[in-house]
Structure 1
Amino acid sequence: MFAPYRRVLSAPGSLAFTLAGLLARLAFAMTGVATLVLIADRRGSYALAGAVSATGVIAAAVGMPLLGRLVDRHGQARVAVPAVLAGVAPLLGLVFCARTGAPDWTLFACWAAAATAPNIGGMARARWAHLYRDDETARHRANSLEQALDELCFMAGPVLAMLLSTGIAPEAGLLTAGALCTTGVLLFAAQRSTEPPVRPAPAGGRAPLRSAGLRVLVLTFLATGVVFGSLEVTTVAYTDALGHKPLAGVLLALVAAGSCVCGLAFGLVRPRRSPAVRLLAGVAAMAALLLLPVAAALTGAGLAVLAVALLAAGCGTAPTMVSGMTLVQELLPRRQLNEGMAVAVAGILVGISVGAALGGAVAERTAPGTGYWVPVTGAALALLIATAGRRRLRRTA
């Protein structure tokens, strides 16, 4: 099974930047749960925790495309290093304010200012697109590998964040995430041999969002982000209501595990249908499978059954994300890949912020488990958007 991926990683320098980026990805996977636990523990409110988390995600969604544009114009290393260093002080400020009982507005301000980390996943995919620019099958496998690595981090990240935040101190998870993010980005930026060359933009060039197909993708990813954000908050709140809060990380890891396995399997299948068709199939599967956690939670089947349901629900995520990122690479010229993928990820981040806020509000106002309807709604909306805009998801550049 892994032989094709070994061939993909045989490109000179590819293994080095992949391993370096893993640290930053792990940090990103930890921050959501770590922030929620820190604020909920220190302030006693999931609604406040979800709102602060949402603010940071929105700030990242605004800044990430701007950083992506700078990366396209000046190169990955020249932008990534100062960007990640700029977020260290605000992160420490959030921890300090949460611990000392500072006014709630300071939490929002610090977390928004800390959202300066560059889009490591997008920069890694841009490197793959450059390395395998003439090999569609290799690019498909590389994108599948990237998604599997993302999910691998989301398997380990929430578990590690919960262990640190509940076993050591509420601040431990977020501080560790900050250290891993800074280290990972610096190591990734140091891998200069695989960095794509800067391609000057022609005068009067179109912005990525002028592409109708990319607009459809961003809206689809926004709705998919609602799935991610609400699923995380709902699971943490649900396990807390049952008196098993530390198990939230394990349950969220199972979602990522299902996506990781499906991502690796998806990459082994030689593409026969267009990425647009594959995207529609992935979104439809995601919407259907997310009904399983709803049934498990609302029937009171227990955490063991919920775990199986979440594992199955994760299987629709990877095909959706792999196909979507492949479409970004097809819809845009190479000189705009970093900005284009950052715009796509920004859509996901906005959706995550909306989903986190909705999930937190529903968790505080309804019976435990009711919040699992929020990710189902997000997936159904993603399917509706992708279906309505399917004709625009074709190569334009």
Structure 2
Amino acid sequence: MASQPLSSAPARTSRLPGRFARLPELAGPGFLPLGLFARLPLAMLTVGTLTLVTAVSHSYAIGGMAAGAVGIGSALGAPVLGALADRAGQRIVLLVAAVINTLAVAGLLAAAYITPGYGEVADAAGVLIAAFLAGASCPQVGPMARVRWMALTTRNLSPGATGGKRSVAASRADLDTALSYEGTADEVTFVLGPALVGVLASMVAPWLPLALAAVMTITLVPAFAVHPSQQAVVPAPRNAGSGVDASGTEAERPQRRSRWAVAVVAVPVVAMVCMGTFFGATQNALSAYSAQYATAEIAGLLYAVMGLSSAVAALSVAFWPQRFSLASRWVAAALAMTALSVLLILPAGIWPMVAVLLLLGIPVGPVMVTVFSIGGVVAPSGRMATVMTALASGIVAGTALGSYLAGQLAETQGPGAAFVVSMAAAAGLLLLGVVTSLVMKRQPQA
């Protein structure tokens, strides 16, 4: 990934503590709040669609299908947006996506209210198409922000240098800090987004959350798109990395390197599918669990408990020692996550489950931060946005998979069986962490 310095401006004093005070200096004023709130519409879209369509159609089946269409659209559309950003630059891609997504959400609102008689699944085609388009066009602010941080923290990089240029160690510390902040921002928005949908839909009207999401998209995303930090990310040239001479004698070697790069990148992407599976299964299992001891509606509050400790733990990654390698972090955090997930089957009440979820969230945030970091390390040159959006898509696809599997088990065998899916997903993360550790030892130049 190529980078270029932003316009020189005097560093501003930040009120953020410790290492996090560096972030506004690196990215410039306004980047942190813009990056946080511009990703909120994505966090509201799935739940907002489910709430709206279910309320209007009076059908849980159609509401679930519409929410699923949003998820499928997002999983397929995000890597496309990332690839376009790698080629054309973030600014134009985000601006166009913001306009298209706003129109798609407006179309979804219109289809939900004007489609005649779509209380039957067969009549809901217009709503499902609009939901798919809204998901596919949703601007991927979180992954794009991570790409900017990776460019910003490697500007003027010089191993072991003193003076004006920054050392590799300083760059690594800044990147750890930035990505730990991004992990916390994701956790906060994906707790705040559904909560905001619930409050607005119940107190005002079911259409309001999506309308607000559209307004935020058309205002905040363009502001994020044109923020000066986007200048640090330079689009990749179309013929970058070909490495083939006129005689073609070097054709096989670049192809082998390309296949190896794809295989290495696939590991963190599959890991994010496992992470999403863990999230989706835990959400669904908690719904069944809370119905046994209270009401199913408090499942969201229980899940938010895990999100709280996960967000705090993600921030702590900025202070982990640099000699603790990325692969070792992945293995250690995933091992703790696997062991603690076994505790999910033990509680016999709401408060014991709260305690378990608080503990379980501690390794979750560091795993997410580390996988995104490794994704940045192994991303091929000029494909950073593609990889970051593929990682985000893996979470979306895995969440749908985990929700489905846990739902089936919870329906037939109860919440205990549904939690087994969460345990299996955590074990999958551990296995992939071990694979990554072995690969990085074999290919240290990554």
What residue is the counterpart of 2:236 in the other structure? 199
| Residue 336 of structure 1, CA deviation | 1.4
Match of 2:386 among 322, 330, 339: 339
What residue is the counterpart of 1:4 in the other structure? 19
1: CA distance, partners of 2:80 / 2:260: 13
Q: 1:325 to 1:164 in 2, by over 3 A?
A: same
| Residue 68 of structure 1, CA deviation | 0.8
Per-residue deviation, residues 120-152 of structure 1 (Å, max 9, x unmatched)? 111111111111113111111111111111112
What residue is the counterpart of 2:250 in the other structure? none
Contact 2:45 2:70 in 1 (8 A): no
Aligned letter for 2:205? A
What residue is the counterpart of 1:143 in the other structure? 179
What residue is the counterpart of 1:60 in the other structure? 74
Rg bigger for which structure?
2
What residue is the counterpart of 2:431 in the other structure? 384
Q: 1:363 to 1:88 in 2, by over 3 A?
A: farther
Q: 1:330 to 1:368 in 2, by over 3 A?
A: closer
Q: Which has the higher contact order (CA 8 A, sep 6+)?
A: 1
| Residue 82 of structure 1, CA deviation | 0.9
Aligned letter for 2:48? A
What residue is the counterpart of 1:109 in the other structure? 129
Aligned letter for 1:251? L
What residue is the counterpart of 1:355 in the other structure? 402
Q: How does 1:1-397 map to 2 (within 5 A)?
A: 2-13=17-28, 15-42=29-56, 48-98=62-112, 101-102=117-118, 103-115=123-135, 116-133=137-154, 134=157, 135-195=171-231, 196-203=233-240, 205=242, 210-236=261-287, 238-239=289-290, 244=295, 246-296=297-347, 299=348, 301-302=349-350, 304-367=351-414, 370-393=417-440, 394=443
Structure 1 length-normalised TM:
0.87
2: CA distance, partners of 1:309 / 1:231: 12
Q: 1:350 to 1:295 in 2, by over 3 A?
A: same
Per-residue deviation, residues 3-26 of structure 1 (Å, max 9, x unmatched)? 11012322251x422211212322
Question: Structure 1 residues 34-43 or 246-255, which shifts more?
Answer: 34-43
Q: 1:346 to 1:355 in 2, by over 3 A?
A: same
Percentage of identical aligned residues = 30
Question: Structure 1 residues 144-153 or 164-173, which shifts more?
Answer: 164-173
| Residue 374 of structure 1, CA deviation | 2.7
Question: Structure 1 residues 236-245 or 135-144, which shifts more?
Answer: 236-245
| Residue 283 of structure 1, CA deviation | 2.0
Question: Structure 1 residues 323-332 or 224-233, which shifts more?
Answer: 224-233
Structure 2 length-normalised TM:
0.78
Per-residue deviation, residues 273-326 of structure 1 (Å, max 9, x unmatched)? 221121122222222223334333xx3x12x33333222222222111111111
Contact 1:27 1:181 in 2 (8 A): yes
Cα root mean square deviation, aligned: 2.8
Q: Residue 114 of structure 1: SS of its match in structure 2?
A: helix
Runs of 5+ unmatched residues, structure 2: 1-15, 158-170, 243-256
Q: Residue 130 of structure 1: SS of its match in structure 2?
A: helix
Q: 1:344 to 1:193 in 2, by over 3 A?
A: closer
Question: Structure 1 residues 164-173 or 185-194, which shifts more?
Answer: 164-173
Q: 1:396 to 1:200 in 2, by over 3 A?
A: farther
Runs of 5+ unmatched residues, structure 1: none
| Residue 259 of structure 1, CA deviation | 0.9
| Residue 44 of structure 1, CA deviation | 5.7
Question: Structure 1 residues 208-217 or 58-67, which shifts more?
Answer: 208-217
Question: Structure 1 residues 279-288 or 46-55, which shifts more?
Answer: 46-55
2: CA distance, partners of 1:326 / 1:56: 27
| Residue 268 of structure 1, CA deviation | 1.3
Contact 1:53 1:353 in 2 (8 A): no
Question: Structure 1 residues 305-314 or 222-231, which shifts more?
Answer: 305-314
Q: Residue 419 of structure 2: SS of its match in structure 1?
A: helix
| Residue 396 of structure 1, CA deviation | 5.3
Q: 1:4 to 1:204 in 2, by over 3 A?
A: closer
